[in-house]
Amino acid sequence: MHYIWIEHIDPILSQIPDYYKSAALILHPFVEMPEHFIHYPTIEQQMQYGKPVRWETICQLCNFKRKEDVLLALLSDSDALVEPYARPDLAEQLHKYLPKHIFFPTSDETSPLLWPAFLKLLIKSNSKKLYWSSPIILQSSVLPLDFVEPQLFVNLPEQELLVSNETMTIVWLSRFDSFVTTYLSSTVLNEQILESLALETIICDEHTPLWFWVKRDTF
């Protein structure tokens, strides 16, 4: 299988193959680093020293009422939104209250802090292989799961990327300028398993788009 393109505005469940029965948005965590870090940490530094910070914690730190405001702030700060949808006020609020040693989440690729959880999901599904596919460089590969460690993902292509098990029953999709990874499953997602892996997720219903702040009458 090649990369599955999902548009930002339409509901996710209406855009994916019928083989997949459920989907979730995995929120890329903010990254807490030791206080001596003043520049955005590299992937290797995040994996070695970084601690994930949940969006619900960011809401408390930055006086946001909901996680949708966090996404709006991030998208506005990255110029992914234009008027009248951009919310520069929320972006300013995020910069004002965010502690200096907590850095923005990754926007174009899955957060390196999430890869250990993905590998655990593969192991729970009794997968033997890991598959990845990139629509940007038009390459794909299959790797034996016995030799896969979180550090391997450092060398995978950035931006749009599909990563799955060999049967495609579990799929993670990164998307440029999204700050989330889309998780597709051929079965109903087990929320208890997601919580046990400390994944902060939004389980998709028939109306949930990639930009989950969007309301039907917004566009």
HEC secondary structure over the chain: CCCCCCCCCCEHHHCCCCCCCEEEEEECCEEECCCCCCCCCCHHHHHHHCEEECHHHHHHHHCCCCHHHHHHHHHHHCCCCCCCCCCHHHHHHHHHHCCCCEECCCCCCCCCCCHHHHHHHHHHCCCCEEEEEECCCCEEEEEEHHHCCHHHHHHCCCCCEEEEECCCCEEEEECCCCCEEEEEECCCCCHHHHHHCCCCEEECCCCCECCCCCCCCCC
Q: Answer yes or no: pTM beyond 0.85.
A: yes
pLDDT at 218: 53
Rounded to 5 degrees, φ, ψ at 201 are -130, 160
pLDDT at 126: 87
Q: Running along the chain, 219 residues long, what does each successive block of 10 average in pLDDT?
A: 87 95 97 95 94 98 96 94 90 97 94 92 88 89 81 78 92 92 95 93 95 70
pLDDT at 95: 97
Quick count: other Cβ atoms within 10 Å of Cβ 197? 16
**Which residue from 94, 95, 105, 122 is spatially nearest to 177, judged by alpha carbons?**
105
pLDDT at 76: 95
pLDDT at 216: 52
- Residue given tokens 């799955």 in the structure block: 164
